[in-house]
Amino acid sequence: MPSLTHAEAITRAELIHDLDYELDFDLTGSRTFRATTVLRFRAATPGAETFVELLPTRVISATLNGELLEGFDDGRLVLRDLAETNEVVVVAEYDYSNTGEGLHRFVDPADGNVYVYAQPSIAEAPRFMACFDQPDLKAPVTLRVTCDPKWIVRANGEGTATAPGRWEFEQTKPLATYLITLIAGPYHEVRTEHDGIPMGLFARAAFAAHLENDAEEIFEITRACLDRYHELFGVRMPFGKYDQAFVPEFSWGAMEFPGLVVFRDELIFHAAVTDTERLDRAAIIAHEMAHMWFGDLVTMRWWDDLWLNESFATYMGYRMVAEVTAWPQSWTRFGVNRKTFGYAADQRPSTHPIAPKLVTDVDAAFANFDSISYAKGCSSLRQLVAWLGDEAFFTGLKAHFEKHAWGNATLDDLLESLSASSGRDLSEWARVWLRTPQVNTLTPVVTWDDAGRFASVAVRQTASAEFPTLRPHRIGIGWFDETGVWQRTEVDIDPAADGGLTPVPQLTGVFGRGLLLNDGDLTFAKIRLDERSRADLPSLLVDQPDSLARALMWNSAFDAVRDGEWPGDEMIRAAAVALPHETEVAVFESVFQLLRSHVATQFVAADRQDAAVRQLGEACRAAMTVAEPGSSRQLAAARSFISCLDSISEARAWLAGVGLPDGLVVDSELRWSLLLRLGVLGDVSDAELDAALAADQSARGVESATKIRAARPDAAAKAAAFEIIVSDRTLSNRQLAATAAGFWRPEHAELTDPYVGRFFAEIGATAQWRAGQLLNLIGEAAYPTYAVAPSTVEAADRMIAAGGLHPMLERVIVDETDDMRRAVVAQARWA
């Protein structure tokens, strides 16, 4: 189906008015389902022509105002000679999906139960209905469903079972097509009510006990966030009920369907978890809830404002978690995790403005669904709030919601409301922050006197030659005073006034150690450490009492490693000293992941990588030793330690429950982690995997076993896994991703090197049967990340130069190759 263009969407929006949908699904089939779509609308120009999108396996019948329609081709059904008022009726048969797009069908290996859910994504609604698939043609939806009588069905609106296996739902408020959903199956349900709002939780039957265990924490977060949003936005939750469903094989973290938010069901915990995982779940809950107002009540007019939906929800999500939940350190997690990905994305070839002036079509919109739209946009909003203040920001938001409720709005509409509430013209701020790409670097320029005091301090702001924009920043600057107390001052950086070098006179004559720019993390900018702080980094990380400040130091070090300015070994040495002392689990886990997945295996020279991994493992062992038995800190250290293990005997002992630290239990998650490490070390047989899978027949077990089979250092295992990556058309999105994640291992370079060239030669053809979202997922997971060599870059460049790639896959390859190029340069420089 051709990608809908902005020009086509404008033309259609001018023509179509007073639209509503009736949907009737028959879900009794096992491979396909039948859907009847009725569209009623008024045409502004009688006699005009337009089209609806649909992607069925076959059209059974299609009529316009009672007349049979012809002209269905490549996902578009042409509507000619429109009347003033029109009714289109399309009866079609569709395939169920196994990729998390369209109407996804899942058979639980644990009990054979079948579950269905709708995921329209950005452009997948035509896989289950006929529609005008663009965000500014919002319409009420009336839904009916026929299914297995043992199933329950939930959707955006309230519904009831009118007969065994027959469900009918009330007409919804106006919804964009990308926000229409349903779930159907023998879901387990937990219900409550808060402030007059009915609330439900749903998960598959095999997860019933785990859902019951987690329900009160989820409800507690939901209640607290609802109350705070009501207070801040001045509008009650707009969609009547607030259900949250945790569904299998969901491709995204979650999706903000009004009245029925859908999450990936890994967020229902089956084993011991760390505080970081609980914080992340809370942030996702708060993020999706924010969309009820920003995205669902007021919807973007076109996909160029997709960033605004996601940036706003990300900002509000982390803010809510900090304000009203048990995890006030949420901004630390954002800073050391999500923001790191934002910095990387903004420096790749695919960088783009947060708010592009034009998104030409839907494919281009999907390509911009990235860490710039989430993390950088969130940071920009945080900077804006720091500049305007809470009162002006939320006063403007209330006016925005009131003016555009149930309709569509643009960035300019929001800026108009915020300018009115703050009394400031935001056009220049929007130009430099939202309309120009790339990131600035802030570097301290420091001199000291003989007593260790600052003789002078200034902040130099620089930008890349390709994107030379300097921006205003409000930042904190922190330092240790002579008594060891952490101090902080605020500075406004204004390149229009200081030309890129901002003096900080209030620090002249002040004793200072460990100077840190952007203390408090209010802006989006790369920061550098001064020469003394760099040399003192390991002890600064140990002495620093503020977890967010430690996160910023780690970010600065990692960015310097990515840029080739520091050797990766230097960051590894800092970790060996500091990680055993790290008390904030979110910092420990995030930093360890950067070190294990990137620094030690990509930026450290190949002949020193094994030693770097061993250093990380010993740091984790030390962290386990000092952690309280049974604590989240101990669990995080243990998981990290397992990923570094090079001793088969020690891994086997742990698997048998021998030699474990006091308080640590080998539950299902740790067991699969140990089996994965043993698989990488070549000590797991097919028989042992079969037995492990027989003991854990969950989808999680299937995915774990799939990953382990691909991770073994065996030529036949690698050949089978690669064939799945480049040829399979039947496995689910999760099993494909698990195979790709298991295949490339830095320990197995000799086995996998022959597949580097084959990957670039063969992965492009998978676009013939894989949709864009899956191409993106597999392209990233299966990229030969650990084959750091000029030959890998050359093979990738040949693939890109040949052309003909699907846009989503091309972007992944271009960006991953840019990361590879950085690693090649860094290894050569510090060899």
Cβ-based burial of 428 (10 A; exposed 0-12, middle 13-18, buried ≥19): exposed
User: Does the structure show a pLDDT above 80 at 368?
Assistant: no
Residue 291 within a domain? no
84 SS3 class: coil
Q: Report residue 46 CA to chain centroid gap.
A: 44
Cβ neighbours around 468 below 10 Å, total: 10
Closest CA to 123 of 373, 364, 362, 367: 362
Q: Which residues constitute the domain of residue 813?
A: 716-831
Pair of tokens at residue 80: 């000619």
Active site residue 84: no
- List % helix, strand, coil for the chain (3-state, nearest 5): 50, 20, 30
How do residues 465-485 score in pLDDT, each as one tens digit? 999 999 999 999 999 999 999
Report the pLDDT value the prediction gives residue 150, as an integer from 0 to 100. Answer: 97
Q: Which residues contact 785 (CB under 8 A, 6 or more apart)?
A: 602, 744, 816, 819, 820
Q: What is the rounded distance in angstroms from the CA atom of residue 616 to the CA atom of residue 613?
A: 5
State the average pLDDT over residues 606-620.
Answer: 96
Cα R_g (the chain), whole angstroms:
27
Among 336-340, 517-521, 589-593, 695-699, name the one with the lowest average pLDDT.
Answer: 695-699
Instruction: Give the confidence band of 128 by pLDDT, cuts at 50, 70, 90.
Output: very high
Tokens representing 473 are 């920043």
| Distance in angstroms (rounded) separating the CA atoms of residues 243 and 234 | 21
Higher-pLDDT residue of 70, 421: 421
Q: How far apart are CA 394 and CA 169, in angstroms?
A: 34
Distance of CA 158 to the CA centre of its chain: 29
Instruction: Indicate whether 756 belongs to any domain.
Output: yes
Task: Please check whether residue 806 lies inside any domain of the structure.
Answer: yes
pLDDT for 60? 96
Distance CA 679, CA 681 (A): 5
What sign does the dihedral 702-704-707-708 (CA atoms) show? negative
Within a domain: 757 = yes
Separation between Cα atoms, residue 64 and residue 45, nearest integer Å: 16
Distance CA 763, CA 756 (A): 11
User: 524, 379 in Cβ contact below 8 A?
Assistant: yes
pLDDT-based confidence at residue 294 (cuts at 50, 70, 90): very high
* 182 SS3 class: strand
Q: Nearest 10 degrees: CA dihedral of 357, 363, 365, 366?
A: -160
With a cut of 90, say whether residue 773 has pLDDT above it: no
Q: Is residue 377 pLDDT above 90, yes or no?
A: yes
Rounded CA gap, 475 and 524, in Å?
Answer: 10
Cα–Cα distance measured from residue 781 to residue 734, given in angstroms and rounded to the nearest whole number = 11
Give the whole-angstrom CA distance, residue 129 versus residue 56: 8
Question: Hey, what are 538's tokens?
Answer: 């390991």
Give a yes or no: residue 356 inside a domain: no
Give the sheet arrangement for strand 114-119, strand by strand. Answer: 102-107, 114-119, 182-185, 152-155
Tell me if 770 sits within 8 A of 325, measured CB to CB: no
How many domains, the chain?
2
Give burial (CB, 10 Å; 0-12/13-18/19+) of 149: exposed
Greatest distance between any 2 Cα atoms in the chain: 91
Could you tell me the pLDDT band of residue 346, with boundaries at 50, 70 and 90?
very high
CATH number for the domain harbouring residue 92:
2.60.40.1730
543-565: average pLDDT: 97
Burial of 607 per CB tally in 10 Å (0-12, 13-18, 19+):
exposed
> Angle formed by the axes of helices 715-727 and 754-762, to 10°?
10
Residue recorded with tokens 């939750």: 237
Question: Nearest 5°: phi and psi at 3?
Answer: -70, 130
Backbone angles phi, psi at 745, to 5 degrees: -135, 130
For 501, half-sphere exposure in the C-beta direction (CA atoms, 13 angstrom radius) is: 5
Whether the per-residue pLDDT at 199 is higher than 90: the answer is yes
Question: Residue 370: is its pLDDT beyond 90?
Answer: no
Contact (CB, 8 A) for 77 and 71? yes
158's CB contacts (< 8 A; 6+ apart) are: 169, 170, 240, 241
- Percent over 90 (pLDDT), the chain: 92
- Cβ proximity of 182 and 226 under 8 Å: no
CB 342 within 8 A of CB 371: yes
- Residue 123 scores a pLDDT above 80: yes
Judged on CB neighbours under 10 Å (0-12, 13-18, 19+), 307 is: buried
End-of-domain residue from the set 115, 139, 162:
162
Q: So what's the pLDDT on residue 771? A: 81
> Given pLDDT bands bounded at 50, 70 and 90, which one contains residue 273?
very high
End-to-end alpha-carbon separation of the chain, Å?
A: 49
pLDDT for 100 beyond 90: no
Q: How confident is the model at residue 556 (pLDDT cuts 50, 70, 90)?
A: very high
Q: Is residue 827 part of a domain?
A: yes
Chain mean position to CA 379: 15
Number of H-type helices and E-type strands within the chain: 31, 29
In a domain, 92, yes or no: yes
Kind plus residue range of the DSSP H or E element containing 322: helix 306-324
Strand partners, 475: 491
Residues 6+ apart with CB under 8 A from 257: 156, 179, 180, 181
| Residue corresponding to tokens 């960015």 | 559
pLDDT of amino acid 644: 97
Reported confidence tier of residue 336, pLDDT bands at 50, 70, 90: very high
Total residues belonging to the chain: 831
Residue 275 has pLDDT above 90, yes or no: yes
The answer to whether residue 327 is domain-embedded is no
Is-contact 21 142, C-beta < 8 A?
Answer: yes
Taking alpha carbons only, the member of 246, 354, 235 closest to residue 294 is 235
Query: What pLDDT was estimated at residue 733?
Result: 86
* Domain boundary, last residue among 110, 141, 162: 162
Quote the mean pLDDT of the chain: 95
* Tens of pLDDT, residues 4-23: 999 999 999 999 999 999 99
DSSP per-residue codes, 392-420? HHHHHHHHHHHHHTTSEE-HHHHHHHHHH
Residue for token digits 């978890």?
Answer: 273
Contacts of 27 (CB under 8 A, 6+ apart): 33, 116, 145, 146, 147, 148, 151, 184
Which of 111, 142, 162 marks a domain boundary?
162
CA distance 409 to 302: 9
**Could you count the other beta carbons within 10 Å of the beta carbon of residue 424?**
14
Residue with tokens 């009736």: 22
Amino acid identity for residue 714 in this structure: D
pLDDT at 323 over 80: yes
Q: Which of 101, 124, 277, 288 is catalytic?
A: 288
Rounded mean pLDDT of 47-65?
Answer: 97
